[in-house]
Amino acid sequence: MAQQVSQETNESQQNVAYTDAEDGPIPLSKLIGSGVTSADVKKLEEAGFFTVESVAFAPKKHLITIKGISEQKAEKICIEAAKLVPMGFTSGTDMLLKRSDLVLLKTGSEELDKLLGGGIETGSITELFGEFRTGKTQLCHTLAVTCQMPIDRGGGEGKCLYIDTEGTFRPERVEAIANRYELEGRLVLDNIAYARAYNTDHQTQLLIQAAGMMAESRYALIIVDSATALYRTDYSGRGELSARQMHLARFLRMLLRLADEFGVAVVITNQVVAQVDGAAVFAADPKKPIGGNIMAHASTTRLYLRKGRGETRICKIYDSPCLPEAEAMFAITAGGVADAKE
C-alpha cells in the first residue's frame, strides 16, 4: 500500500506545466493584438514581465522605463492588461469562497499546522524569525519537500524555488526528509530550483529570473533563507539606513507580487537583534526581528521561533491578520520538522 502511495506521489512530482489558463497566470502572448505587437511582448519579457498579471500589477512609470516602450504604448498595454485581469471590487462573500479553496502547505508537525490553521498559506508571505539554531532552515527544508506532495496529502503539487543567502541549503537533508514521506529523493531534488545569492542586487535579480521560470512550470513555494542577511553586510551605519530600507522594500514588494501573480506560498527567514536601549530592561524577551516596519508590514504572517529543551522548538504567532496569538511546540528530527514527543 505504501509503495502504491509512493508511486502516485512520484507521478505528481513530475514537471507540471499549466494546461488551462484558469489554473494559472495568463501568458503575455494574450496581449498581442489591439495595438500590442509581438515585439512589444519581447521587450516586456526582457524587462522581467512574463505574465499579463505582472504587467497589470506594475505602475505605468515602470513600463515607460523599458527601452522601446513609449508613454502611449505603456498606456495601451495597461488598458489591454486591465481587460484580462480583474482588479476591481468584489463582494466579501466571493472573497470567502476564494479563501475556502486556498491551498495550505503542511509543515511536518501536526501541532504546528493546527497553530497555523492548517499549514503555510499560499498567496502570501510568511516570515520566520528567531536566533540561530531555532529551526528556521530546518522548517524551510521540510517545506521544500512537502510542497511537492499531492494537495490531498497536504502539499501544493508544485516545485520549490530556493534562494539561499547564507549557504545553509543541504541536499542530503532534503533526501532524508523525502525518505520520511516515502518519496524518491532525486526526484524531489530535481523539483527544487536552487540559487545562491551573493549580494542584495543579485538577490533581487534572482526574483526576475524566478518570474520567468514560474511562468513555464508550476511552482508551489518560494523560500528565501535569509531575506535580510545580505542587507546587514551590504549596508552599514545610519547613513545608509534609508537606502537599505528602500532596497529591502522593493525586494519584498517583488516577492508579494510573485505570490499574487502565481498563487505560491512565500516563506522568508529573518534574523534578530538584541535591544540595548532602556526598554530592554523591562522586556521579557529583548530580541526583535531586523528590517523594521518595512519587514513588519510586508509579511502577512510572522512566526517567532525559539529554543526549547533538547531538540524541541517553540513557535509563536507574532503577527497575523486572522490567527490568534498562541504557541505550539515541535521537534527537529532526522526526517525534518515533526511533532515533539511528550
Cβ atoms within 10 A of the Cβ of 274, count? 10
**What pLDDT shows up at residue 341?**
84
38 φψ region: left (φ > 0), alpha (ψ -120 to 50), beta (else): alpha
Q: How far apart are CA 155 and CA 169, in angstroms?
A: 21
* Residue 90 reports pLDDT greater than 60: yes
pLDDT average, residue stretch 301-310:
93
Q: How far apart are CA 274 and CA 258, in angstroms?
A: 32
**What pLDDT shows up at residue 310?**
86
Cell of 174: 532534503
Predicted confidence (pLDDT) per residue in 213-266, tens digit: 999 999 999 999 999 999 999 998 889 999 999 999 999 999 999 999 999 999
**What pLDDT shows up at residue 17?**
36
Q: Are 133 and 143 a contacting pair, CB within 8 Å?
A: no
Cell of 201: 542586487
**What pLDDT shows up at residue 112?**
96
* Residue 171 reports pLDDT greater than 80: yes
Range of weakest confidence among 3-17, 163-177, 265-279:
3-17
Output the CA torsion sign for 66, 71, 77, 78: positive
To the nearest whole number, what is the mean pLDDT of the chain? 89
Q: How far apart are CA 144 and CA 160, in angstroms?
A: 6
Q: Which one has a higher pLDDT value, 237 or 304?
A: 304
Predicted confidence (pLDDT) per residue in 137-169, tens digit: 999 999 999 999 999 999 999 999 999 999 999
**What pLDDT shows up at residue 19?**
35
User: What three-state secondary structure class fits 122?
Assistant: coil
* Residue 184 reports pLDDT greater than 60: yes
**What pLDDT shows up at residue 279?**
56
Q: How far apart are CA 301 and CA 286, in angstroms?
A: 21
Residues 6+ apart with CB under 8 A from 38: 29, 32
- In the sheet that holds 336-339, the strands lie side by side as 192-196, 159-164, 219-225, 265-270, 125-130, 301-307, 312-319, 327-333, 336-339
Q: Are 31 and 81 a contacting pair, CB within 8 Å?
A: yes
* Residue 5 reports pLDDT greater than 70: no
**Nearest of 163, 129, 169 to residue 298 by alpha carbon:** 129
Q: Are 30 and 52 a contacting pair, CB within 8 Å?
A: yes
What is the value of pTM for the model shown? Answer: 0.88
